Chain A
Amino acid sequence: MMPTAEETGGMRPENLVWVFGTARTGSSWLSAIMGETGGYSRWHEPLVGHLFGNLYYERAGHRSEDEHFILGGRYRDLWLDTLRRFVLDSAAARFPEVAARDGGYLIIKEPQGSMGAPLLMEALPESRMILLVRDPRDVVASNLDAHKEGTWTADLMRKGGKEKPRSLAESRPDAFVKGQARRYVRDVGNAKNAYDAHGGGKVLVRYEDLRADTLKTMKRIYSTLEIPVKEAELARSVEKHSWEKIPAEQKGEGKFHRKAKPGGWREDLTPEQAEIVEVVAGSLLRELYPVRSTA
């Protein structure tokens, strides 16, 4: 049996808005715009999708029909119920202001948990979903830059008390590109499966459209998801988080905010690397970007 609102600290599942896709698709930007308008909060990468998705789809994928397996098919309803309560309890504990407020929304930025998107959307069918996609060649190019020596990812690891080991991005860039393209297929592929299966509020957003006309695309997101927003407030948030407002010293090569330029992969990847991505992620590329050119 699904828990009642009282049992979940009052967090309403229909007021959760998930942002799935994959890393380096502009999800921080999108969720920052949404999370700072009135009545909205942002949950930054809980990784709950990764927690469940990684075991279910990858490490124990061969055991999905085994009745002893904790996430086995025969007892699916039972563990999906636990997953549901797990998310709602955790959300309520962290964001009591959203749970308490009538009409409050929680934006859950979860690109790196997209592998588990089908499980999360099945457990929380009333919640809303944004599938945020970006050209896989730009995603891979962005990751290639991020994992080079001395970049923001090394700073992030240092903050966590670890030194970043030398990455394949430096020693074997083509192998790195192939690995990242596979990761794109895994994350975006699973997020797309969740999107197709989800019967509730959902919207597909291309990063390129968000860059081309941010306010228009944001309005489309809110109207498609049928969630209220004050237009003036949204416009202010869009303006506040625009590329132009980021100080020059905080953007560029090796920075978290790199170039935000759709099609920038042409400058960043070798023709061979672009071809690797097109081969590995070809099916999703054709489906999500049917009119784009290839290497």
Chain B
Amino acid sequence: MTPRFKQAWRRALRKGASLRSPTRRSSRGIRPENIVWIFGTGRSGSTWLGSMMGGLEGCAMWNEPLVGNLFGNFHYFRVGGRKSGRQYILGEPYKETWLGPMRDLVLGGAAVRFPEVAEDGYLVIKEPNGSIGAPLLMEALPESRMIFLIRDPRDVVASSMYARNEEGWLSGRRDAQRPASKPDRNPNVYVRMRANSYVQQIEKTRQAYRAYGGRKVLVRYEDLRADTLRTMKRIYSTLEVPVEEAELARSVEKHSWENIPEEEKGEGKKRRKAKPGGWREDLSARQAEIVEDITAPLMNEFYPHTATMRGAL
């Protein structure tokens, strides 16, 4: 640990202690510093990454609690100009009164669900669809660790579109969707909507990542696919989470694409193709352009050398 990092870490611990509720100082709880968040966006490989990490000895995975969605969606997108006022429940002047309960909600919820990792174990919280609340969660739990998982937005949109088609594995949720935004009814409208939600989620994850003083790592899905074990080692060493290399290698192998039975992968399945750049086969030229236009600043930042429909970025 560098001295600068040590200093930031001590600051984070002090801040966390100030948020700790006396009613939740349980000796059998999950240690906040042993929580590892995975933020980003849906369809970016977070289930795969979470499974590899959560399957290790002394580790568990909390699969999408949506606690980030609970607070973030409301706070950032629904209340408009009321944030600074006295009345609004998540008002800035009263931050201490709501960051504490938010922290308790996570730690209390983790303790009852995962008693097997209390005290010394690690809990990986896979929360891509709660990434909208990442800045708030990282502020409420400043000692915890953070993975920012990102994937080419065109592949994310293509994967989401196939999941929500009539034959897709998420088709059961179609009733709740507006007819106009069903991907097979109006694909371009869906593409636009999903690209916009990608921007919202990734921007909030980036905001949290930049502001966060604790242990954190940025991971590209494409790197994870290209050399899984190497990327996993980088994650563990950057986050300073101890891991046995042989065990990690076994977990990587167990969860590899090749070890998924044929009948569990392919079109319409949750595991579809896991192929970086597969968007070229899935999206029309117009759809790819829509995604590129909407996500251009993020693509520039995270995929600066990628080719687009209109040439290099």
Encode B83-99 as 1/0 by CB contact (under 8 A) with A: 00011111000101110
Please give the number of chain B residues whose Cβ is less than 8 angstroms from any Cβ of chain A in the complex: 39
Residue B311, interface by CB 8 Å:
no
A1/B65 contact (C-beta < 8 A), A48-B89, A68-B113, A94-B86 known: no
Closest-CB distance, B200 to chain A (whole angstroms): 14
Q: What are the residues of chain A within 8 A of B285 when measuring CB–CB?
A: none
Q: Does A295 contact B (CB under 8 A)?
A: no
The contact of B89 among A47, A71, A79, A162, by CB within 8 Å, is A47
Complex: A57 Cα to B67 Cα, angstroms = 15
The chain A residue with its CB closest to the CB of B64 is: A68
Stretch at the interface among A98-106, A153-161, A272-280: A153-161
- Residues of chain B contacted by A89 (CB below 8 angstroms): 97, 100-101
Does B113 lie within 8 Å of A75, measured CB to CB?
yes
The B interface, classified by DSSP as helix, strand, loop or mixed, is helix
* Residues of chain B lying within 8 A (CB to CB) of residue A294: none
Whether A51 lies near B62 (C-beta < 8 A) is no
- Does A82 contact B112, Cβ atoms closer than 8 Å? no
Count of chain A residues near B, Cβ 8 A: 40
Interface-side segment among A58-66, A137-145, A216-224:
A58-66
List A22-51 residues whose CB lies under 8 Å from chain B: 43-48, 50-51
Contact present for B81 and A162 (CB under 8 Å)? yes
Beyond known contacts A51-B70, A70-B66: 17 more, CB 8 A cutoff? A46-B87, A47-B74, A47-B82, A51-B89, A54-B78, A59-B69, A59-B73, A62-B176, A67-B113, A68-B113, A78-B112, A85-B101, A90-B97, A93-B94, A94-B86, A94-B87, A161-B81
A and B contact pairs by CB, cutoff 8 A, 22 listed: A7-B23, A43-B87, A46-B87, A46-B89, A51-B71, A55-B66, A55-B73, A63-B66, A68-B113, A69-B65, A70-B65, A71-B66, A71-B70, A79-B109, A89-B97, A93-B94, A93-B96, A93-B97, A94-B86, A159-B81, A160-B80, A160-B81
